[in-house]
């Protein structure tokens, strides 16, 4: 990255930071409903190198994609959010981006870019931000300045993850717990399978689900769906679509709590082996009640189970993207071979990190 930046900008970078993508183990579409989520950071990341400019211009370049694809708006959003959130004025900079995260695959490539850019630009300005502040800046960049109505999960885990743990987040209080998550200790693997179907969180369908959840909460007389019970959902008169949306959120919150309790048992208690049926139930709910799966994702889940997986489900916002598969060592080759280049193993890693000053 140092050499690439030097060739592009004609000088070394001042800061280089990397931020991982994430897989959401369970807890889908619960974050903007005040509920619980359980993501972990993965060993694929986005790296951002920066150096200041004296002319006030923000110049962005990616080693992967053309500059006219719209990704640079996330960097501009970070600059605005840094000024608004923490008073950091980093308006003039050269920004070079490198990544091995597929975009649109439900692995939070946008949050990785935001968090890495926020960390690099703040450090370039002489300001050190902890994980909580970095997550807040990145969240504000995407929601307020880019205009995508996401929840807080992605930015939080990208900024605050710990290796060999999943991050249990209460999205209302923002309290976190690092829950041990070590599939390798149980001779298990987590595989991500990219469906190849691309989605954009800003295409309107995500926002539609949020509006439906808000309408369901209003029909139930609660502030957010996190406050509702399954009994309320089934007993309250409302549109069937709103009932199904609410049922997913309420049952998904329960599945997150169940998964956390299971993982707390540790490897000797078969922690990861015990979550397979929970993952399958989550996928069924996302498919049937929340209507965010697709034929390609459903086939991945079915095929993975046929090839020996313990559990599988779509991960991310849906409408395409990826599925996660938990598979024992003895069936790993079968799963990987079955999906070819679309499948790759992931492991839980630390969140955003500094690669060092380069100038």
Of 278, 276, 335, nearest to 303 by C-alpha is 335
Query: Domain for residue 47, yes or no?
Result: yes
143/202 Cα distance (integer angstroms): 10
**Sign of the torsion angle spanned by Cα atoms 171, 34, 209, 288:** positive
Of 324, 22, 35, nearest to 159 by C-alpha is 22
pLDDT for the residue 44? 95
What CATH number should be reported for the domain holding residue 235?
3.30.70.890
Question: 143 and 232, same structural domain?
Answer: no
- Contact at 8 Å (CB) between 192 and 324? yes
pLDDT for the residue 359? 37
Length of the chain counted residue by residue: 359
| CA geometry: angle 351, 23, 173, nearest 5 deg | 65
pLDDT for the residue 179? 97
User: Average pLDDT for residues 48-54, to the nearest whole number?
Assistant: 95
- Contact at 8 Å (CB) between 326 and 345? no
CB atoms inside a 10 Å sphere around CB 254: 16
User: Average pLDDT for residues 138-160, to the nearest whole number?
Assistant: 92
Query: Can you read off the two tokens belonging to residue 299?
Result: 């086939």
220/218 Cα distance (integer angstroms): 5
pTM: 0.91
**Sign of the torsion angle spanned by Cα atoms 349, 198, 275, 304:** negative
**Residue 108 predicted with pLDDT over 80:** yes
pLDDT, one tens digit per residue, over 188-226 is 999 999 999 986 655 678 889 999 999 999 999 999 999
pLDDT for the residue 107? 87
User: Average pLDDT for residues 62-69, to the nearest whole number?
Assistant: 73
pLDDT, one tens digit per residue, over 216-263 is 999 999 999 999 999 999 999 999 999 999 999 999 999 999 999 999
Q: Predicted confidence band at 21 (pLDDT cuts at 50, 70, 90)?
A: very high
Query: Can you read off the two tokens belonging to residue 55?
Result: 């002319």
**Residue 58 predicted with pLDDT over 90:** yes
Overall domain count for the chain: 2
- Contact at 8 Å (CB) between 126 and 120? no
Question: 253 and 125, same structural domain?
Answer: no
User: Average pLDDT for residues 74-91, to the nearest whole number?
Assistant: 91
Q: Which positions are annotated as active-site residues?
A: 154
Question: 237 and 91, same structural domain?
Answer: no
Question: 137 and 43, same structural domain?
Answer: yes
């Amino acid at each position: 990255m140092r050499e690439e930046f030097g060739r592009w900008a004609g000088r070394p970078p001042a800061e280089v930071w990397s931020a991982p993508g994430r897989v959401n183990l369970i807890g889908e579409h619960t974050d903007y409903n005040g509920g619980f989520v359980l993501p972990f950071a993965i060993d694929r990341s986005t790296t951002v190198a920066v150096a200041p400019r004296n002319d006030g211009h923000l110049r962005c370049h990616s080693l992967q994609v053309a500059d006219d694809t719209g990704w640079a708006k996330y960097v501009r959003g970070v600059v605005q959010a840094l000024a608004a959130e923490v008073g950091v004025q980093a308006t003039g900079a050269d920004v070079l981006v490198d990544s091995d995260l597929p975009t649109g695959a439900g692995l939070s490539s946008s949050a990785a870019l935001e968090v890495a850019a926020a960390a690099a630009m703040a450090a370039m300005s002489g300001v050190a931000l902890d994980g909580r502040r970095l997550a807040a800046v990145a969240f504000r960049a995407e929601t307020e300045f880019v205009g995508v109505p996401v929840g807080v999960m992605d930015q939080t885990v990208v900024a605050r993850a710990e290796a060999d743990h999943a991050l249990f987040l209460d999205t209302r209080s923002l309290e976190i717990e690092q829950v041990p998550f070590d599939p390798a200790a149980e001779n298990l693997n987590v595989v991500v399978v990219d469906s190849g179907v691309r989605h954009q969180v800003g295409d309107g369908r995500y926002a539609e689900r949020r509006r439906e959840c808000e309408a369901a909460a209003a029909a139930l007389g609660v502030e957010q769906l996190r406050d509702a019970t399954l009994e309320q959902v089934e007993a309250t008169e409302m549109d069937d679509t709103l009932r199904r949306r609410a049922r997913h959120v309420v049952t998904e919150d329960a599945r997150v709590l169940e998964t956390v309790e299971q993982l707390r048992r540790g490897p000797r208690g078969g922690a990861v082996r015990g979550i397979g049926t929970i993952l399958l139930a989550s996928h069924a709910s996302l498919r049937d009640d929340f209507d965010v799966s697709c034929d390609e994702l459903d086939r991945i889940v079915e095929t993975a189970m046929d090839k020996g997986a313990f559990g599988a489900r779509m991960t991310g916002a849906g409408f395409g993207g990826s599925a996660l598969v938990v598979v024992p060592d003895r069936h790993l080759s079968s799963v990987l071979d079955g999906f070819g280049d679309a499948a790759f193993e992931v492991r839980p890693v630390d969140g955003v990190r500094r690669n060092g000053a380069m100038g």
